[in-house]
Structure 1
Amino acid sequence: MKPEESCDQISVLYDGSCPLCRREIAHLQGLAERQEQSSLCFVDISKPGRFASEYAVDRAALLARFHVQCADGSLLHGAAAFVEMWRHLPGWRWLARLAQLPGMLTVMEWAYRGFLRVRPRLQAIARFFETRA
């Protein structure tokens, strides 16, 4: 599926064991809930066993990168997954439109890959502050 094509309903697959992911998803869920009919469903994939057969990708791969599953069953990951989710969020749709500019999705994917390199350190910092709160 091309990232420009929009899904009718998507499942946002996130790592609920990641403090960064939990905080971001809580914010996005709040935005989605403000819509009368949200087309987003948020799924915590950090719980073992439950999702093994539901997705065409193994659990480790799902936890390693951000994924969304479209209503047609297709799975997007990385920047393309963020863009698809943004299409369904009020106040974030402009980012989805920005991603349609030539080369922009590639730049967003590079930025996301850069984030993934530092994610473990950021998670450790976030966990440190969670335990001190």
Structure 2
Amino acid sequence: MPDPAANRPPKAPGRPIVFFDGGCPLCRREIGHYQRLDTAAAVDWRDIHADAAPLAAWGITWDQAMQRMHAVSPEGRIRSGAWAFVLVWRHLPYYRWLGGVLHRLPPVVWLMDRVYNVIARFRWRSRCDDGVCRPGG
């Protein structure tokens, strides 16, 4: 008999979850900076290069997560790209004010997301397009 809980969305996490590529030197450096600031453990950092399994619960494929950074808000909403960064910044010291301001300026975040897309596409092509970053690859 199928488990009815398997079709339910995950419970709201209560704090942001960030899925990042820990196998990417650029990503590791940037996320490492944020992790050092996160002395209160306000964010749940998940390295999908080490363990991609948690993505499935949120309906995020490994390819999607590798092509754009994804985060889940404390309320359970999925964000990606620049929108994910704004979500994270709102929970970190030194960036909280910036995240708060940008959260109220969607057109600015939209422009940031366009720039992010260019960088993310370049990163994907240079790191993952040939399959080198696949788990176990």
Report the equivalent of 2:23: 17
The reply to whether residue 103 of structure 1 matches residue 100 of structure 2 is: no
Q: For residue 19 of structure 2, what is the amino acid of its counterpart?
A: L
Report the equivalent of 2:80: 77
The reply to whether residue 113 of structure 1 matches residue 136 of structure 2 is: no
Which is bigger in relative contact order (C-alpha 8 A, separation at least 6)? 1
What secondary structure is seen at the aligned counterpart in 2 of 1:12? strand
Provide the rounded CA distance (Å) in 1 between the counterparts of 2:55 and 2:105.
36
Report the equivalent of 2:93: 90
Deviations 1:36-63 (A, max 9, x none): x332110001135533532211111111
Provide the rounded CA distance (Å) in 1 between the counterparts of 2:65 and 2:106.
28
Q: For residue 97 of structure 1, what is the amino acid of its counterpart?
A: G
Q: Is the Cα–Cα contact under 8 Å of residues 16 and 42 in structure 2 kept in the other structure?
A: yes
TM-score in terms of structure 1 length? 0.74
TM-score in terms of structure 2 length? 0.72
Report the equivalent of 2:9: none
Provide the rounded CA distance (Å) in 2 between the counterparts of 1:51 and 1:64.
17
Query: CA RMSD for the aligned pairs?
Result: 2.4
What secondary structure is seen at the aligned counterpart in 2 of 1:13? strand
Provide the rounded CA distance (Å) in 2 between the counterparts of 1:111 and 1:117.
10
What secondary structure is seen at the aligned counterpart in 1 of 2:54? coil
Report the equivalent of 1:47: 50
Provide the rounded CA distance (Å) in 2 between the counterparts of 1:67 and 1:58.
11
Summarize the Cα distance change of 1:10–1:80 in structure 2 as closer, same or farther, 3 Å threshold.
same
- Unpaired runs of at least 5, structure 2: 1-12, 128-137
